[in-house]
Amino acid sequence: MTERAPMPLIGDPFPRFEVMTTHGKLTLPDAFAGKWFLLFSHPADFTPVCTTEFVAFQKRYPEFRELNTELIGLSEDQVFSHIQWVRWIEEKLGEKIEFPIIADTGEVAERLGLIHPNKGTNTVRAVFFVDPKGIIRAILYYPQELGRNIDEILRMLKGFQLADAQQVAIPANWPNNELIGDKVIVPPAADVATAAKRTQEYECFDWWFCYKPASA
């Protein structure tokens, strides 16, 4: 009996897949080399909550692209169902879905842990954040009955990019944190000498909690 590979975790390379999509065959993560991408699964085409999510993702697609980020959807519906659904969305709702949607055979869903038996046989709503090096940076799961907050997904993406660029940490509710507003957290001191200088170099609540404005 073949042993199943464990579900990938944050910090792992995104698994390599060849997939059929509404934009033809793609190889992941190679198709998005040098870019961030978000793979997000939905339970089924022609369902109300999923339709609202796809419209919301598409409306913000230009913002994702400005952040060097691509989107790719996924469900276990066949590709002709995806095609008909996106045509319906354009005709009835006026939104042309520009990003590809994977018609999964079950391989991707199984490998990424998208089937949660206690929530049915369809894929749950998951989001995988993958950076330009093909590393998984975050994984979100939502049940079928709850639609995603696309603004929060954008906030997370901006936070990751800022953290990477400036080697800082991002506070809760950034950029509207209750303690430090839109400022960012300086990494903790790694030795006694650095700790002693921290309160002179930055704004601090204490040596272990210092912060600064995000650089332009």
Q: What is 167-216's CATH number? A: 3.30.1020.10
- Cβ-contact 73, 81 below 8 angstroms: no
Q: What is the pLDDT of residue 99?
A: 98
Write out residues in the chain with pLDDT < 70, as ranges: 1-5, 216
Q: What is the pLDDT of residue 156?
A: 98
Give span(s): CATH 3.30.1020.10, the chain: 167-216
d(CA 139, CA 162): 18
- Cβ-contact 131, 137 below 8 angstroms: yes
* pTM of the predicted protein model: 0.93
- Orientation angle between helical segments 150-166 and 48-59, nearest 10 degrees: 40
Residue 210 designated active-site = no
Question: In terms of C-beta density within 10 A (0-12 exposed, 13-18 middle, 19 or more buried), how is residue 75 classed?
Answer: buried
Which entry of 39, 50, 102, 186 is annotated as an active-site residue? 50
Closest of 213, 201, 202 to residue 171, by C-alpha:
213
Sort residue 151 into left (φ over 0), alpha (ψ -120 to 50) or beta: alpha
Q: What is 17-148's CATH number? A: 3.40.30.10
Give span(s): CATH 3.40.30.10, the chain: 17-148
